[in-house]
Amino acid sequence: MTRKAAIIGGGVIGGGWTARFVLNGWDVNVFDPAPGAERNVEIMLANARLAVPSLSDGPMPPEGRVCFSATMAEALEGAEYVQESVSERLELKHAVYAQMQQASPDILIGSSTSGFKAVDLQKGAVAPANIIVAHPFTPVYLLPLCEISASAANPPEIIERTKKIVTEIGMFPLVMRKEIDAFIGSRFLEAVWREALWMLKDGVATTEEIDDAIRMSFGLRWAQMGLFENYRIAGGEAGMRHFMAQFGPALKWPWTKLTDVPEFNDELVDLVAGQSDAQSGHMHIRNLERLRDQNLVGILRALKDRNVGAGRVLNEHDARRRLALPDPVPDTAKPLEMARMQVLPGWIDYNGHMTESRYYFANSETVDAFLRLIGAGMDYVAAGHSYYSAETHIRHLGEAKLGDRLTGTLQIISADQKRFRSFVRIMKGDVCVATVEQLCLHVDIGTGKPVAAAPEVWGKLQAIAKAHAGLPMPEGAGRAVGQARA
């Protein structure tokens, strides 16, 4: 049977919880009497539907149903869990819990509070044992952290049930060892926020400069390892103890306006270094460095695909480099060298070999460059015509590995105004690792039907086809799969 959660409060946080539960197959009742709450939840859900399925490598479970309830009691009906996401006012939260526990005294209540301790939330409650902190981070449907903070009034089974439920909707539960205001995440956020406000107030930096500083540096580090593992690596082979010796003195320096600091002594060094050893000591510093670098490369590639932040810096760097390269002048009397590639981490399988579909990708890069050469590039496509691939035959003749440099050469086997047949060789130095024969049709994008190419495109294509007519027919062209060799 479909499980059901109640979400009380339909703001950015409540809407995010709703989306996370629903996309994990739970039904959700939402209760929020504020005008606009329903619209807001729908917006969060629409955002989540665009993003969350891209993270799953299997089919998504059938979406749960969202009901907007008219009363608290109606919302709790049939729910096994309720997530409270009302404003951060303690008396409001107390009133809400009283209503909940009147309607359903045994229900497990997780609070989205980013600051109040469970012991404070539970004050005056009928059943304090059932109220616990389950603190998420925006956007709730994407970020995995859920800080779970309990008081002495919460029995272990309540903590376990909360952990289990948030795990089932894909979150990472982190149970606090001690109750403190604002838990772990928001304490850091608050420290950074305070420092940032000082910088703005003192005119040291603007909001944009601060954002750039963060996303071009430690933001990238922190997305994949946290604070300590990165510092362990920065300490080099000498590790955490060395890092602390180097940077310990800074604690006394005016490096922040925030100046209440723990005493820097051997005890503190031992504590930090010992915990860091327990956390990462099983990995050699060289392996940690490479793991970090691989993670950073993956994150930077993702940002590059989206042309944002550090990714835009990389794209601009590529563009500068391209400008500095001499323009290739293709020699049409032999197969044209159209593309130079390097086998990237995303191109390889678990054995370190280039995965088979990437040979087709290498062909596409080669043919795309050829299309630009004959004047059928992006602008031509934007104007309504394009070459579409109709069929493709690939022969795998060798292997390429991570980092290998490949070139793609292209020979025109035949061409007319409506189509061409190309034969691409993917070369690793002098070795041909794959051949790709392809039939491309010239299509009117509007109708989807083959039509004659624009005269200037056909002129360029025809000239190359004539020059290539004198080349020998490539070995392997015209083959069907499994056909005996000639």
CB 141 within 8 A of CB 16: yes
Query: Quick check: 306 binds its own copies (CB under 8 A)?
Result: yes
* E runs forming strands in 270-384: 336-342
Among residue numbers 393 through 422, which ones bind its own copies (CB under 8 A)?
393-396, 403, 405, 414, 421
Pairing of strands 385-396, 431-444: antiparallel
Least gap, CB of 394 to its own copies (angstroms): 4
Shortest distance, position 122 Cβ to its own copies, whole Å: 19
* Residues present in the chain in total: 486
Residues 68-97 that bind its own copies (CB under 8 A): 87-88
Q: Which of 129, 153, 159, 272 binds its own copies (CB under 8 A)?
A: 272
- With CB under 8 A as the contact rule, the residue among 98, 310, 454, 467 that binds its own copies is 310
* Number of Cβ within a 10 Å radius of residue 349: 10
Binding flag, residue 171, its own copies (CB under 8 A):
yes
Phi-psi region of 394 (alpha: psi -120 to 50; beta: other; left: phi over 0): beta
**Cross-strand bridge partners of residue 353:** 401
Taking the complex as a whole, the smallest distance from the CB of residue 82 to its own copies amounts, in Å, to 22
* 290 near its own copies (CB under 8 A): yes
Phi, psi of 367 (to 5 degrees): -70, -40
468 lies in the site for its own copies, by CB under 8 A: no
Q: Which of the residues 139 through 168 are near its own copies (CB under 8 A)?
A: 139, 142-145, 147, 168
Strand partners, 348: 354
Do strands 405-416 and 81-84 pair parallel, antiparallel, or not at all (unpaired)?
Answer: unpaired
Upper half-sphere CA count for residue 253 (Cβ side, 13 Å): 5
Q: How many whole angstroms separate alpha carbon 176 and alpha carbon 123? A: 20
Identify which of residues 252 and 334 has a Cβ nearer to its own copies in the complex: 252
- Tokens found for residue 347: 């191109």
Cβ closest to its own copies, residue 130 vs residue 435: 435
Q: Is 449 in the site for its own copies (CB under 8 A)?
A: no
Among 107, 129, 314, 451, binds its own copies (CB under 8 A): 314
Whole-number minimum distance, CB 71 to its own copies, in Å?
Answer: 25
Residue 56 in the binding site for its own copies (CB under 8 A): yes
Least CB distance from residue 77 to its own copies, whole Å?
A: 26
Cβ closest to its own copies, residue 97 vs residue 137: 137
Query: 447-450: long-range contacts at Cβ-Cβ below 8 A with a sequence spacing of 24 or more?
Result: 450/418, 450/419
* 447 touches its own copies by CB under 8 A: no
